[in-house]
Amino acid sequence: MLTILFDGIAYGMLLFVLACGLSVTLGLMNFVNLAHGAFAMAGGYVTVVVVNRYGVPFFAALLIAFLVTALIGALLERTLYVHVYQKSHLDQVLFTIGLVFMAVAAVDYVMGSQQVFVQIPAMLQGRFDFFGVGISKYRLLIIVICGLLTLALQLILTGTRFGSRLRASVDDARVARGLGINVTGVFALTFAVGSGLAGLGGALGAEILGLDPTFPLKYMIYFLIVVTVGGTTSITGPFVASLLLGIGDVAGKYYVPKLGAFVIYSIMIVVLLWRPQGLFARSAGR
């Protein structure tokens, strides 16, 4: 029972790291980026390549995954995404679906269509007992890393100058611009960091979520649920939504394996009927 809770929390934390970049870009630019999962996939594959082929230590590989994906994100943001911000949601959806299809086919071409695995170090494998609760070492690592990241993000958002600029831009980009905040720059940096976090999430999650070229399509619905249920105005909302989703999904698949996949959709529908604007959205939701 507690093991399931533990696994669920690990899963939820992972989802949060994967999706938080999306929620910030959505809140900031009102930009629907369905290609977010493609960045996560990129991070996962970078890790697979550097760990399995070049024998880079696992933790260094995580850092590399973050940096490489952030770089790809920044590059794409400056060259392609920037042209699409002002367009309608339909255009954004078409554009990002197009990117997803291209990413899926390209990865399929380069890496093959079968599922790949990261060789995680021996010290992270296996599980130990803690007061009768079976704890997997790898999942514990995920919780620690993601927990620290969440804390750091929260501190950056609430405590630093960049954080207050970011929050101002999210609340009202026009006024923020009028106050002399470089919203475009803030956004480019946020986009890169968000993509990097997705890449890190993809690298960490390759072991748990499974990594193959259809990853961005398979997890698109999870990201959308996290963002819509959690709202886009803070990171607490998506965090709670991720935990809810993670625990719900793991528990559902364990207790009612036949109907497990429906648990998350039920959560989605219930929340939607109860709070159409998301769990934590302010009344003036975008």
91 scored as a contact of another protein (CB under 8 A):
yes
What tokens does 253 get? 């698949």
Task: Count other Cβ atoms within 10 Å, centred on residue 277.
Answer: 14
What tokens does 120 get? 């995680």
Shortest distance (Å) from residue 17 CB to another protein: 20
Give residue 168's region: left, alpha or beta (phi > 0; psi -120 to 50).
Answer: alpha
Contact 29, 82 (CB under 8 A): no
What is the length of the chain?
Answer: 286
What tokens does 96 get? 């990002």
Among 124, 181, 251, 268, binds another protein (CB under 8 A): 268
100 scored as a contact of another protein (CB under 8 A):
yes
CA–CA distance, 79 with 266 (Å, rounded to integer)? 39
Residues 22-61 interacting with another protein (rule: CB under 8 A): 26, 32, 34
The stretch near another protein (CB under 8 A) out of 63-71, 149-157, 164-172, 221-229 is: 221-229
Among 4, 71, 74, 94, binds another protein (CB under 8 A): 94
Q: How far is CA 101 from CA 118, 135, 190, 192, in A?
A: 24, 37, 24, 21
Residue whose token pair is 């890169």: 192
Q: How far is CA 198 from CA 60, 130, 165, 218, 251, in A?
A: 16, 31, 22, 15, 24
Contacts of 154 (CB under 8 A, 6+ apart): 235, 236
The stretch near another protein (CB under 8 A) out of 5-13, 76-84, 135-143, 197-205 is: 76-84
Shortest distance (Å) from residue 90 CB to another protein: 5
Q: How far is CA 179 from CA 87, 160, 169, 173, 285, in A?
A: 25, 17, 10, 10, 23
Among 58, 95, 215, 239, binds another protein (CB under 8 A): 95
Size of the site for another protein (CB under 8 A): 47
Among 63, 71, 224, 279, binds another protein (CB under 8 A): 224
78 scored as a contact of another protein (CB under 8 A):
no
Residues 104-163 interacting with another protein (rule: CB under 8 A): 104-106, 108-109
Nearer to another protein, 105 or 175 (CB): 105
CA–CA distance, 220 with 11 (Å, rounded to integer)? 16
Q: What is the largest CA-CA distance in the chain?
A: 58
Among 67, 71, 74, 97, binds another protein (CB under 8 A): 97
Among 52, 119, 236, 277, binds another protein (CB under 8 A): 277
The stretch near another protein (CB under 8 A) out of 49-57, 64-72, 126-134, 254-262 is: 254-262
Among 57, 98, 178, 185, binds another protein (CB under 8 A): 98
Residues lying near another protein in the complex (CB under 8 A) are found at 26, 32, 34, 80, 83-84, 87-95, 97-106, 108-109, 217, 220-221, 224-225, 227-228, 258-259, 261-262, 265, 268-269, 272-273, 276-277, 285-286
